Amino acid sequence: MIFTLISLVIIGLLLWLVNNYIPMDSKIKSILNVIVVIAVMVWLLQAFGLIGGVGLR
């Protein structure tokens, strides 16, 4: 549980840093934000056992 919270804080901090300090078009930032949010949601659902593995094989 602690690992999950620390991971969420680190992911959020990295996303904030990218959004604020790396110059990008706003459309690209929006796409990046959506991809990161979806990936984190899938990771959390897998971590709590609500969905099965979605890994690439």
Mean pLDDT value across residues 28-34 = 95
| Strands, E assignment, 1-57 | none
Task: Using pLDDT thresholds of 50, 70 and 90, give the confidence band for residue 56.
Answer: low
Token digits for 33? 């934000």
Residue 2 corresponds to which amino acid? I
Dihedral of CA 30/10/39/48: which sign? Answer: negative
Q: In this predicted model, what pLDDT tens digit does every residue of 16-28 receive, in sequence order?
A: 999 999 999 999 9
Q: What integer pLDDT is reported at residue 48 of this predicted model?
A: 86
Stated pTM of the model: 0.80
Residue 51 has pLDDT above 90, yes or no: no
Domain boundaries, the chain: 2-47
Assign residue 52 a region: left if phi > 0, alpha if psi is -120 to 50, beta otherwise?
beta
